[in-house]
C-alpha cells in the first residue's frame, strides 16, 4: 500500500467520524479511542475503498507494450494515454504500425469517397472500469502518404439491449 496525502486525509477524517460516533455509544475516551482504532481500517478497506473504486473513473496507466496490446485486449485502455502522449506511432508507416498494434479493427468512414477509408485505422481500447461507465474507448490513426500523421482518442456510446 502506498501512503499518500489523500489517503492520510481520508483516514484522519474517517477516524474522527468513527471516534465521534463511538463517543455517542460510550463516553469513556479510552473505549471510544479503542473502537476508533479498530474500526477505522475495517471501514476504510471494506466499505469506503470499494465505493471509491466503483464510483470513480480512475484507472491505472501503463506504458505501451506491443505484446500486452495483442495478448490482453481488455487492458488496452491502460495503454491508450501513453500511445497518445508519447506520439510513438506518429511518423511510422502502416507496416510498422501493424507490427506494433496488429491489423486495424475497422476503417473509419470518409465522406469524400463515400466509403470506409483504409487511411483511417481504428482500434478498440475497451471500457474503463466503473459503475456508470457506458462508453467504449477507441483510437483512430490517420495516415497521409502511408505515414501516421495523427492519433485521436475518442469514445463510443454503448447501448446495452435487454
Alpha helices in 44-150 (DSSP H): 49-55, 66-71, 77-86, 94-101
- The CATH number for 123's domain is 3.30.1450.10
The total number of structural domains in the chain stands at: 2
Of 13, 32, 55, the last residue of a domain is 55
Query: Do 48 and 89 share a structural domain?
Result: no
Q: pLDDT tens across 56-108, in order?
A: 766 677 888 888 888 888 888 888 888 888 888 899 999 999 999 989 988 98
20-60 pLDDT per residue, tens: 999 998 889 988 899 999 999 999 989 988 888 777 766 67
Question: What domain range is 43 assigned to?
Answer: 5-55
pTM, two decimal places: 0.66
Q: Give Cα separations from 60 to 54, 82, 105 (angstroms).
A: 14, 11, 24
Amino acid at each position: 500500500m502506498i501512503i499518500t496525502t489523500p489517503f492520510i486525509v481520508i483516514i484522519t477524517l474517517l477516524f474522527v467520524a468513527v471516534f465521534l460516533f463511538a463517543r455517542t455509544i460510550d463516553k469513556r475516551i479510552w473505549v471510544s479511542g479503542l473502537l476508533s482504532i479498530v474500526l477505522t481500517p475495517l471501514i476504510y478497506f471494506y466499505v469506503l475503498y470499494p465505493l471509491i473504486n466503483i464510483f470513480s473513473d480512475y484507472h491505472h496507466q501503463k506504458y505501451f507494450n506491443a505484446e500486452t496490446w495483442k495478448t490482453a485486449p481488455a487492458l488496452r485502455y491502460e495503454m491508450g494515454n501513453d500511445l497518445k502522449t508519447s506520439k510513438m506511432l506518429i511518423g511510422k508507416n502502416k507496416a510498422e504500425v501493424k507490427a506494433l498494434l496488429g491489423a486495424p479493427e475497422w476503417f473509419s468512414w470518409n465522406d469524400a469517397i463515400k466509403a470506409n477509408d483504409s487511411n483511417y485505422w481504428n482500434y478498440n481500447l475497451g471500457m474503463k472500469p466503473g459503475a456508470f461507465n457506458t462508453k467504449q474507448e477507441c483510437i483512430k490513426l490517420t495516415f497521409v502518404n502511408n505515414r501516421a500523421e495523427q492519433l485521436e482518442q475518442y469514445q463510443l456510446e454503448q447501448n446495452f439491449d435487454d
